[in-house]
Amino acid sequence: MRRLLVLASVLWLAACSTPQPRNINDVCHIYDEYYDWYNASKAVKDRYGIPEAVTMAFIHQESKFIDDSRPPRKWYLWIIPGPRPSSAYGYAQALDSTWEEYQRLTGNWSADRDEFEDAVDFVGWYNARTIRRTGIAPHDAYRLYLAYHEGAGGYLRGTYKNKDWLLRVAKKVQRRANAYQRQLASCREELDDGWFWRSLFGQQGQPPVGYLLLPSSAKIISSSG
């Protein structure tokens, strides 16, 4: 009986997990596959002023859009699992303590790190606080990522300056944000135009076969009637 309960729990968790997007290097493809992610990152821009491309570049770097991502464990003798290097978890790789602070200060106690909408809101909230303290521009993914890793205080003290690996990663995040911004410029109009159909008929935003939209009256009619 116990084994059946464990198996049922595993299957339930697998069913609740959101698969990684098929093409994580093209933000238009990501948003087309998960349209609610587009709405979530737009909400972050409206609420905190952080461009969608910057937020998505952070998520790409931190978790590759894997909802339950964690830092790899240290292994002893290749068979004995050791501790993880930190409590980072989820899309944004937020630490336990930082996530609890986010929940407390925003009042969003139900927020989960493996929920995309909550994770991108966290990224926006964190970067907005960094901007207020450091004066970094909202589109400056390079410096925002340095502060995301080191904290605003560490960034102001320059703790990143001797970390060549971190400087390389921050440059990669900026390149990713630039690429996402160019991609989004080519598909934003289509994404915005398709919101009505997507909300009715799913992610691809297409009405079911047999229905037509009359442009002049914006009414839906059945082609069979």
Q: Which pLDDT tens digit goes with each residue over 73-97?
A: 564 555 655 455 578 999 999 999 9
Q: Over 60: is that where the pLDDT of 65 sits? A: yes
Q: Over 50: is that where the pLDDT of 225 sits? A: no
Q: Is the pTM of this model over 0.85?
A: no
pLDDT confidence bin for 193, thresholds 50/70/90: confident
CATH number at residue 119: 1.10.530.10
Residue 198 belongs to some domain of the structure: no
Please state the rounded mean pLDDT for residues 173-179: 98
Measured at the CA of 68, the angle between CA 160 and CA 63, to 5 degrees, comes to: 35
Span of 62-71, 90-99, 184-193, 203-212 with lowest mean pLDDT = 203-212
Distance CA 4, CA 182 (A): 49
- Strands (E) across the chain are located at 75-76, 80-81, 211-214, 219-222
Measured at the CA of 90, the angle between CA 141 and CA 167, to 5 degrees, comes to: 30
- What does the pLDDT read at residue 214? 38
Per the structure, the complete domain to which residue 30 belongs is given by 18-193
Contacts of 28 (CB under 8 A, 6+ apart): 183, 184, 186, 187, 191
Q: How many CB atoms lie within 10 A of CB 127?
A: 25
- What does the pLDDT read at residue 70? 79
Residue 40 belongs to some domain of the structure: yes
Span of 3-7, 21-25, 142-146 with lowest mean pLDDT = 3-7
Residue 57 belongs to some domain of the structure: yes
Q: Which pLDDT tens digit goes with each residue over 104-131?
A: 999 999 999 999 999 999 999 999 999 9
Structural domain count, the chain: 1
Residue 211 belongs to some domain of the structure: no
Q: Which pLDDT tens digit goes with each residue over 6-38?
A: 344 444 444 468 999 999 999 999 999 999 999
Residue 209 belongs to some domain of the structure: no
Residue 113 belongs to some domain of the structure: yes
